[in-house]
Amino acid sequence: MYDLDIGLLRAFVVTAECGSVSGAAQRLARTQAAVSMQLRRLEDDLGARLMNRNARGMDLTEAGHVLLPYAQKMLGLSAGARRALAGQALQGPIRFGMIEDIAVGSLPRALQRFAECHPNVALELTVTESTVLSEKLSQGQLDVAIGDPALIQGEPILTWRLPLRWVAARGFELPEEGPLPLVTFDGVCTWRQKMIEALKDGGRPWRTVLTSASLSSIQSMIEAGLGIAVLLDLNIRPNTMRVLGADEGLPPAPVIELGLFAADDQGLSSRPISALWAFLCDELQAQALATGRAA
């Protein structure tokens, strides 16, 4: 028995997180053929198939799911050892806030890797609405936050755009006549306003059948067939939901903007915050590459 190749593990982890060899190749600055070769070498080494190709990209096999957390920890320990030996070990707490819509999917894995690489940094996480994030930033209760720039006071350090999708339950039939039943987010929400404006511009009448401040409630109501909604790609459950579009007579779904905010003027010059953002930025880029879009 001999040690696993860290380079092969990196190709595997990045492919798993991007969901495709093409996305991993862009992120690793290598050719697709080179990444594919690394994956085959790792599978040959382990004597197990780790990934299957499908219409959406690459899915982990049972063996792949077993290997992934070990590979992520090994990469994290490798990076952490280099930082420690280079005198770059970070210390202290980071109070990080984010909206619920991005606190799911693959982003928590980036936070896990950050914690493994920087064991002396205590992450304190808050998941809430953008308006609450804004208040907590202004009161010094958060160090950094990701939310809607339209609802958070101050200038964001960085911004990026993500597309929303019209979503309904599998088997849900849109009414041929009458208003569209909408499931919408409650409270102050610019996404809801963008959705309604898109329907008005497209000449589609609508009515609200349910409002909720909880993403999981919105997802459950969609799955129950109560109406349609707009969601980010990472919040769509493909086994129970389907994406709607022009074929159903719907206008293009809106595009939303997210921003990174810091509580003080240091911004990314703060070493812990800069290190955290490096992990988050890498993950957000991977999400965009996985669906073939630049965020």
Report if pTM > 0.75.
Answer: no
| Single-letter amino acid, residue 221 | M
pLDDT at position 289, please? 46
Q: What is the pLDDT of residues 104-117, one digit of tens each?
A: 766 777 787 777 77
pLDDT band at 293 (very low <50, low <70, confident <90, very high): very low
pLDDT at position 50, please? 94
Cα distance between residue 11 and residue 16, in whole Å: 9
- Residues linked to residue 94 through DSSP beta bridges, in sequence order: 123
Least confident span in 55-64, 65-74, 160-169: 55-64
DSSP string for residues in 8-31? HHHHHHHHHHHSSHHHHHHHHTS-
Compute the average pLDDT of residues 131-156: 90
pLDDT at position 273, please? 73
pLDDT at position 83, please? 64
Produce one character per residue of 213-231: b if its CB has 16 or more CB atoms within 10 Å, e if not. eebeebbebbbeebbbbbb
pLDDT at position 270, please? 64
pLDDT at 45 > cutoff 90: yes
pLDDT at position 89, please? 61
Compute the average pLDDT of residues 241-270: 81
Q: Are 15 and 80 in contact (CB under 8 A)?
A: no
Q: What is the pLDDT of residues 64-116, one digit of tens each?
A: 999 988 898 888 778 767 766 655 566 778 888 999 888 876 677 778 777 77
Q: Look up residue 171 and give its DSSP letter.
A: T
